[in-house]
Amino acid sequence: MAAAPVRQRSGPGGHRAQLPPCYYEGYLEKRGPKEKASKRLWTCLCGNSLYFFNNAKDTHYVEKLDLSGFVSLKDDCSRDRNLEAARLILRMKDGETKLTAPNLESRELWKGFLYSVIDLNVPSCLTLLPGQLQMLKEVVDKERSRRRSRNPARAPPSPLSVPLVGEIPACFRPVSRTEAEVLLERHPDCGNMLLRPGRDGCSLAVTTRQDLNGSVFRHYRVTQRDQGGYVIDVENPIPCATLHEVIDALVEKTAGTLQPFLLEEPYEENITYVSANDENGERILHTAPSSPLPKAPALPPKQDRWSTSPLSRSPAPDRRILTSPVPASPTNPMRRLILSPSPLAQTLNEELKVKLEKRRASQE
């Protein structure tokens, strides 16, 4: 792997010593939105930003890319003059930055560190080793602690701190203003309006996004009235009995241009499990086989002791075939059929007996 392991370098009074903790570093080729050619720079992921140096020994960075405006990160499958190189497209709110890693393995690891710092969660969609996943988990914990210690009062409020009344709409998200903008821009097909807690923790806000030569964001305050219900604080306040009416009012006022943001969380496509290697004790992530399980052979239908045999449902002429000798077992169902003739058979026997007696009497 071309990227070097993380090691803190503190230059003599240089900028590097004043940067946030470095989680990952290595050489990347970078081309910004306004740059015509790529530059090979030593790249450090420090905190929530990428810092670029001319080489690994420099103490002053030449460029900085703040990841707070992150929109998406995807692979660039276009060919490079270096056949082993692997490209990335990092899309930010102010444009795209193209990055090129030395190889595919390095690109996967860069993606893992970037997603971990941006989402504060270990990504599950990448192909990484157990040791690398443990590194990402440690980075997530460190970055969370760093942000809490730096801005303890600016943490997004919990939805429980907002005195909500009634049923909460599905477009409610416990995110900050900036996080709401990123969500709406990252998932434009899921809607363009979401409900979130306000900055003061005592009110709510609606964030909307529309396209007009770029993203246009608007934020509306929603406060709870003492006499019950809510009101949208605009020039002409709009009273609403419930939060659902707040969303419906904005949809109606904009003739359906604004639609609630409904993000369907992804589900796993395969069943995975973790097991330990018996030889070295290393824990490995396995994928369960996707082939269907063999079906158990079907059991014959269970016949009740008193249920009617299929033979007993056949027409009367077929019952006469059963006059052949059968075993004299009292539990044999065939014997029960013979010993218990049908009413029709009894009637025929009586009529035949009467005719025989009349014929015998006439002959005498």
State pLDDT tens for residues 70-108: 888 888 887 767 777 888 999 988 889 999 999 989 999
pLDDT for 10: 39
> How far is 283 from 304, CA to CA, in rounded Å?
53
- The pLDDT of residue 254: 94
Q: Would you say 274 and 284 are in contact if contact means Cβ atoms under 8 Å apart? A: yes
What is the model's pTM?
Answer: 0.44
CB neighbours of residue 194 within 10 Å: 26
Q: How many CA atoms lie within 13 A of 105 on its CB side?
A: 6
User: Out of 121-125, 131-135, 220-224, which region has the weakest mean confidence (pLDDT)?
Assistant: 121-125
**11 pLDDT band (50/70/90 cuts)?**
very low
Indicate if the pLDDT at residue 4 is higher than 80. no
Distance CA(230)–CA(198), nearest Å, equals: 14
pLDDT of residue 161: 52
Let me know: does 311 contact 337? Beta carbons within 8 Å: yes
135 has pLDDT over 60: yes
* Token couple for 315: 């027409």
Counting Cα atoms < 13 Å in the Cβ hemisphere of 266 gives 7
Architecture of domain 162-281: 2-Layer Sandwich (3.30)
Q: Give the tokens for residue 182.
A: 């990123």
Rounded to a whole number, what is the largest CA-CA distance in the chain? Answer: 144
Of 109, 133, 140, the C-alpha closest to 274 is 133
How many alpha carbons fall within 13 Å on the CB side of residue 298?
2
- Cα–Cα distances in angstroms (integers) from residue 323 to residues 21, 28, 38, 311, in the given order: 97, 95, 99, 13
Instruction: Identify the pLDDT of residue 52.
Output: 94
Q: Compute φ and ψ for 137, nearest 5 degrees.
A: -60, -40
More confidently predicted of 295 and 177: 177
DSSP E strands, the chain: 22-31, 39-46, 49-53, 63-66, 70-76, 86-92, 95-101, 193-197, 204-211, 215-224, 230-232, 238-240, 272-276, 283-287
Per-residue model confidence (pLDDT) at position 59:
87
DSSP letter for each residue of 190-208: G-SEEEEE-TTSSSEEEEE
pLDDT score of 288: 80
Distances in whole angstroms, Cα of residue 184 to Cα of each of 7, 151, 258, 310:
37, 24, 12, 67
Q: What is the pLDDT of residues 217-228, one digit of tens each?
A: 999 999 988 888
The confidence band for 192, taking pLDDT boundaries of 50, 70 and 90, is: very high
Whole-number Å distance between alpha carbons of 290 and 65: 42
Q: How many CB atoms lie within 10 A of CB 90?
A: 23
Predicted pLDDT of residue 343: 63
How far apart, in whole angstroms, are the C-alpha atoms of residue 154 and residue 147?
A: 9
In this prediction, residues 247-273 reach a mean pLDDT of: 86
Average pLDDT over all residues of the chain: 79
Q: Are 88 and 100 in contact (CB under 8 A)?
A: yes
Whole-number pLDDT of residue 344? 64
What's the pLDDT tens digit per position in 306-346?
Answer: 544 444 444 444 444 444 444 544 455 444 444 455 566 67
pLDDT at 205 over 80: yes
Give the range among 31-40, 76-85, 174-183, 309-318 with minimum mean pLDDT: 309-318
Query: % helix / strand / coil in the chain, to the nearest 5?
Result: 30, 25, 45
Q: Report pLDDT for 151.
A: 59
Q: For domain 22-150, give its CATH number from 1.20.58.760, 2.30.29.30, 3.30.565.10, 3.30.410.10.
A: 2.30.29.30
CA Rg value for the chain:
39
pLDDT digits (tens, 9 = 90+) for 261-288: 998 766 677 788 788 777 777 777 778 8
Q: How many whole angstroms separate alpha carbon 150 and alpha carbon 105?
A: 33
The confidence score (pLDDT) of residue 203 equals 85
Q: Where are the domains of the chain?
A: 22-150, 162-281
Query: Which residues lie below 8 Å from residue 215, measured CB to CB, with a gap of 6+?
Result: 93, 181, 185, 209
Percent over 70 (pLDDT), the chain = 74
363 φ, ψ to 5°? -70, -30
Does residue 129 register a pLDDT over 80? yes
Q: Name residue 74's amino acid.
A: K
- The confidence score (pLDDT) of residue 319 equals 45
